[in-house]
Chain A
Amino acid sequence: MSRVIVVTSGKGGVGKTTTSASISAGLALKGFKVAVIDFDVGLRNLDLIMGCERRVVYDFVNVVQGEASLNQALIRDKRIKNLYILAASQTRDKDALTQEGVEKVIEDLKADGFDFIICDSPAGIEKGAQLALYFADEAIVVTNPEVSSVRDSDRILGILQAKSKRAESGDEGIVEHLVLTRYNPSRVESGEMLSVEDVVDLLNIPLLGVIPESEQVLNASNAGEPVILDTEADAAQAYTDVVDRFLGEEKAHRFLTAEKKGLFKKLFGK
């Protein structure tokens, strides 16, 4: 059975693409066949984060409009077996995707035996974001511990619950998961940042994981490697835990507390 997962947030720049790349890579590393689709028409970026930007020949819109076959457009990842990327179109207008076209692509991927189809949503709550979530079975809501991100996550939850295929057909609703990213435990401890408990309390959905603010994320995107592959990095380990929990494993949450600073450091700076 294939599972369609949308990675969504409402607000832009919170870490959807970073999360899509790492979760897709993590699931493929576990042996699953994974396709990750960039729904951000006009603002293609997933290819860069995955390091396959020079191998994009055909894109999602080409497939939807019948100008290329799905097989021609799927880019096979060079590092990880069973991982495929479908790039967004860079030039077309946002209306180039249709609901029927998206449905056909997802159905074809299911028929091709993909275990997971990860939909990297564009920002916003309008058409692009709604198309990305429409066919989802599960949603990973990416949130930063910050007021506008929490508010936008709540709005996207409203859309998941009202405007998805599952909601409209009266089926069981989309399964919701929270991934809290760019978490800075020391700022939480000093009372300057919403804590993970605060955000869970506010959004009231199950927590899949917390990804710490990490310098390695920038290094990974510079190199075009999903950060999960940088196994030493705390963000990578946190994403690995997310993948394990997503697959049903029980795992304690990590990286929630600040490294203890000695009194000397506290008094005299970093």
Chain B
Amino acid sequence: MALLDYLLGQRKKKTANLAKDRLQILLAHERSERHAPEYLPQMRDEILAVISKYVEIDQEQLQISIDEANGFEVLELNLVLPDK
């Protein structure tokens, strides 16, 4: 069996690489959330208030983040509107 494991082991996918790739993406995301500007929560609330004037939305549905992409700071707003 050990012989078989050994030969198969040669072709097995390297899960450590998978772990590293996933962590790289996750940590970058979580760090950007941590370093989000202090005004973000209040801005989020105010944006929510404005949107709620026009459509009924689930407060949890609004995702808002500030990221860096290609040297630009990007404000990203994500909101799924309810079906009518």
Contact = CB atoms under 8 A, between A and B. Distances in A.
B79 interface: no
A80 interface: no
Interface residues of B, number: 20
Contacts of B12: 191
B56 to A, nearest CB: 34
A interface secondary structure, majority: helix
Interface residue tally on A, bucketed by range? 20 to 34
Contacts of B17: 191
A191 B15 contact: yes
Interface in B1-38: 1-3, 6, 9, 12, 14-17, 19-20, 22-24, 26-27, 30-31, 34
A257 to B, nearest CB: 15
A147 B23 contact: yes
B24 to A, nearest CB: 7
A77 B69 CA distance: 55
B24 A202 contact: yes
B19 to A, nearest CB: 5
B30 A267 contact: no
A108 interface: no
Contact of B16 (A162, A198, A267): A198
Interface of B: 1-3, 6, 9, 12, 14-17, 19-20, 22-24, 26-27, 30-31, 34
